[in-house]
Amino acid sequence: MSSALSGATIDTTGPASPKGRRPGRAKRTTPRNTLTGGAGLGLGITMLWFSLLVLLPLSAIVARAAAGGWDSYVNVLQNEQTWAAVVLTVRSAAIVTVLNIVTGTIIAWVLVRDRFPGKAILNVIIDVPFALPTIVAGLVLLALYGPNSPIGLDWAFTPNSVLLAFAFVTLPFIVRTVQPVLEELDADVEEAAASLGASRFTIFRRIILPSLFPAIIAGATLSFARAISEFGSLVLLSGSRPFETEVASVRILSFIENGSYASAAALASVLLAVALAVIVVLDLVQRRVARRG
């Protein structure tokens, strides 16, 4: 399968120019692709692995949902409870992502630019929300923001709990994408700006931020995608009340539990479409900013 896939890819990379179809194609000076034997194998493995794990299962979901025709999508989205779940999920994910852009950049900045006791420990702990099983994340959050909250914030079973859970599990993404870029920034670029008269704020806004922008966008994409797929922590934290705190992934589970696989597949492909749309939009924004310079 690997060779078949890589073979197929090699064929499609070459432009189908009439000249190339002639017998003398071996004499052509510019190669159709840059794949050497080893690289061809690498691409083959990539495609095989990616297909087995991602492309084929995803296609299966979309195919299953599409088997019911447009009606199944329309039916699913016309269901008010489902629609409320989708809106809550997307809105909360968007809010949390915006929040992460600000806090993630600040945390990355502190970790790279400042020296303080405990920095190394903080640097390790940043990844904890990512490493914990999300059901444990739910427990942890419930301890501080649940009915017995020591700080008097009982957010359990409220829409706020969804924001809280999303924020918790997506915290590391922007920190970890921005941090290495910030570390690589040349000090002399900032010094050049300073000697040209730029204040610290101007240097940040006009020199540092544009350099960080691609990393921030990449982190935001990951953060958003991770948020809309969050499930485990919400089971405990949000109570999954219909129209109030039920998110799309929980809604999918209840579809499956009720045996309506077609609805579950339809909602899953809607989520997939949302995720793809956000990835594409953020990528376009990033390209546009990069081009504007």
Partner 1 sequence: MSIDITGVTKRFGDFVALDDVNVSIPTGQLTALLGPSGGGKSTLLRIIAGLDSADTGSIRIEGTDATSLPPQKRNVGFVFQHYAVFKHMSVAKNVAFGLEIRKRPKHEVTQRVEELLGLVHLSQFAHRMPNQLSGGQRQRMALARALAVEPTVLLLDEPFGALDAKVRKELRDWLRRLHDEVHVTTVFVTHDQEEALEVADEIVVINEGRVEQIGSPEQLYDEPANDFVMSFLGEVTTLDGRIVRPHDIEVELAPVPGAVEGTVTRVLRVGFEVKLTVATAGGDVTVAMTRTHLRGLGADEGSRVWLYAAKGAVTVAGTAVKETAVAG
Residue 210 to residue 286: CA distance in whole angstroms = 10
The CB-of-180 to partner 1 minimum distance in angstroms stands at 16
Q: Does residue 285 belong to the site contacting partner 1 (CB under 8 A)?
A: no
What are the distances in angstroms from CA 216 to CA 122, 186, 212?
20, 18, 6
Using CB under 8 A, which residues numbered 220 to 249 contact partner 1?
none
Distances (CA, A) of 135 to 39, 138, 230: 41, 5, 10
Q: Check: CB of residue 82 under 8 Å from CB of residue 76.
A: yes
Stretches 20-28, 57-65, 184-192, 219-227: which one binds partner 1 (CB under 8 A)?
Answer: 184-192
* Structure token pair of residue 195: 């000697």
Quick one: tokens of 292? 């504007």
Residue 293 engages partner 1 in binding (rule: CB under 8 A): yes
Among 17, 59, 202, 258, binds partner 1 (CB under 8 A): 202
- Comparison of 25 and 200: residue with beta carbon closer to partner 1: 200
- Piece of 119-127, 130-138, 202-210, 243-251 that binds partner 1 (CB under 8 A): 202-210
Our finding on whether 196 is near partner 1 (CB under 8 A) is yes
Q: Contact with partner 1 (CB under 8 A): which of 144, 191, 285, 287?
A: 191
> From the list 22, 28, 119, 206, which residue makes contact with partner 1 (rule: CB under 8 A)?
206
Q: Which amino acid does the sequence have at 264?
A: A
Tell whether residue 184 is a contact of partner 1 (CB under 8 A).
Answer: no
Examine residue 189 and tell whether it contacts partner 1 (CB under 8 A): yes
Residue 197 binds partner 1 (CB under 8 A): yes
> Which range, of 90-98, 111-119, 187-195, 252-260, touches partner 1 by CB under 8 A?
187-195
User: Within a 13 Å sphere around the CA of 31, how many CA atoms are in the beta-carbon half?
Assistant: 5
Shortest distance, CB of residue 208 to partner 1, whole angstroms? 10
- In whole angstroms, the minimum distance from the beta carbon of 198 to partner 1 comes to 5
Q: Which of 27, 116, 195, 259 forms a contact with partner 1 (CB under 8 A)?
A: 195
Spatial distance between the Cα atoms of 217 and 286, rounded to a whole number of angstroms: 7
Q: Which long-range contacts (CB under 8 A, 24 or more apart) does 24-28 make?
A: none
Contact by Cβ (8 Å): 173, 103: no
186 part of the interface to partner 1, by CB under 8 A = yes
Q: Which CA distances in Å does 109 have to 106, 113, 115, 156?
A: 5, 6, 11, 32
Cα–Cα distance list, 16 to 4, 13, 29, 144, 282 (Å) = 20, 9, 16, 62, 32
Please state the closest distance from residue 206 (CB atom) to partner 1, in A.
Answer: 8
Could you say which residues in the range 4-43 bind partner 1, by CB under 8 A? Answer: none
Binding site for partner 1 (CB under 8 A): 186, 188-189, 191-199, 202, 206-207, 210-211, 290, 293
